């Protein structure tokens, strides 16, 4: 995916984060996901957009500065170090982000004003809520707008953020098109398998599981090797 088509994300509309994680594994691309505690404020929420990082030091001005650089469709990725003693994003920041046309906010930390955020309707993921805001502000790091940590991963403008009810995944923009194609193939295979199960063909039958057990005993192959040989997609 080039810079010219970075905002054409229609290929991701029907791809779940699970499909994308499996696609990364199939392509040998590191799977980078947000910590499991990051959850959407509302079920059914989806986000897909280029990352716009912002490292919080106790003041909202870093978010406003990030928006000065942002373009519509991006995702504000807020790094508050995973702190659980304060919230760093509330309703006013969310309103400003929505007015700027961004696709959502991902917070490695806490939010507040939960009722107002739900009313605003902007997709938001965070590690939880707290009524208290920062007690003090520290000097802003020189690279506060260049990278944001989210758990063990650093996120930059070279990343695509995709999020849904299962959480968030960070994809290198340079590989986004290849990941989307692989994820679509996995999705289509899984849909065919589910349809066949509903029609009466068990998953074991579709996977030729008896053949696998014999091949495992005779040749020592793994289940993943068997699945790739027959075009299965249940694991990568």
The pLDDT of residue 233: 58
Task: Give the predicted TM-score (pTM) of the model.
Answer: 0.88
Asked if residue 113 belongs to a known ligand binding site, the reply is yes
Q: Which residues, in sequence order, are CB contacts of 136 under 8 Å at separation 6+?
A: 58
Backbone phi, then psi, for 192, in 5-degree steps?
A: -65, -40
Asked if residue 73 belongs to a known ligand binding site, the reply is no
Asked if residue 93 belongs to a known ligand binding site, the reply is yes
Whether the predicted pLDDT of 2 surpasses 70: no
Whether the predicted pLDDT of 236 surpasses 70: no
H runs (alpha helix) in the chain: 17-27, 61-69, 91-99, 114-120, 176-198, 203-206, 209-219, 223-230
pLDDT tens-place string over residues 42-83: 999 999 999 999 999 999 999 999 999 999 999 999 999 999
19-29 average pLDDT score: 96
Across the chain, mean pLDDT equals: 92
Whether the predicted pLDDT of 179 surpasses 80: yes
Rounded to whole angstroms, the Cα distance separating 15 from 178 reads 13
The pLDDT of residue 8: 65
Asked if residue 121 belongs to a known ligand binding site, the reply is no
pLDDT tens-place string over residues 86-120: 999 999 999 999 999 999 999 999 999 999 999 99
Whether the predicted pLDDT of 134 surpasses 70: yes
Task: Give 185-193 contacts, CB < 8 A, sequence gap 24+.
Answer: 185/233, 186/19, 186/22, 186/23, 186/26, 186/233, 186/236, 187/14, 187/15, 187/16, 187/19, 189/231, 189/232, 189/233, 190/19, 190/233, 190/234, 193/232, 193/233, 193/234
- What domains sit in the chain, N to C, each tagged with a CATH number? 3-178 (3.50.30.40), 186-230 (no CATH)
CA 152 to each of CA 35, 40, 51, 168, 198: distance values in angstroms, whole numbers, following the listed order: 8, 19, 16, 13, 40
Work out the pLDDT band at 28, boundaries 50, 70, 90.
Answer: very high
The pLDDT of residue 4: 34
171-179 average pLDDT score: 96
């Amino acid at each position: 995916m080039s810079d010219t088509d970075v905002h054409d994300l229609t290929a991701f509309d029907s791809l779940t984060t699970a499909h994308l994680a499996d696609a990364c594994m199939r392509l040998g691309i590191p799977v980078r996901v947000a910590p499991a505690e990051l959850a959407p404020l509302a079920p059914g929420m989806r986000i897909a957009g280029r990352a716009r990082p912002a490292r919080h030091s106790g003041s909202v001005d870093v978010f406003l500065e990030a928006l000065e650089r942002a373009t519509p469709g991006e995702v504000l990725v807020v790094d508050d170090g995973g702190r659980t003693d304060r919230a760093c994003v509330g309703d006013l920041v969310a309103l400003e982000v929505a007015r700027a046309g961004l696709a959502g906010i991902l917070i490695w930390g806490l939010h507040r004003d939960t009722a107002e955020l739900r009313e605003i309707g902007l997709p938001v993921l965070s590690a939880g809520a707290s009524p208290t805001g920062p007690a003090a502000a520290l000097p802003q790091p020189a690279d506060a707008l260049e990278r944001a940590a989210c758990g063990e991963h650093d996120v930059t403008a070279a990343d695509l953020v995709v999020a849904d009810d299962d959480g968030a995944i960070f994809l290198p923009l340079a590989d986004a098109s290849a990941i989307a194609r692989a994820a679509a193939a996995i999705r289509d295979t899984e849909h065919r398998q589910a349809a066949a199960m509903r029609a009466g063909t068990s998953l074991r039958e579709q996977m030729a599981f008896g053949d696998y057990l014999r091949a495992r005993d005779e040749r020592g192959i793994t289940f993943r090797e068997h699945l790739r040989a027959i075009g299965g997609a249940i694991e990568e």
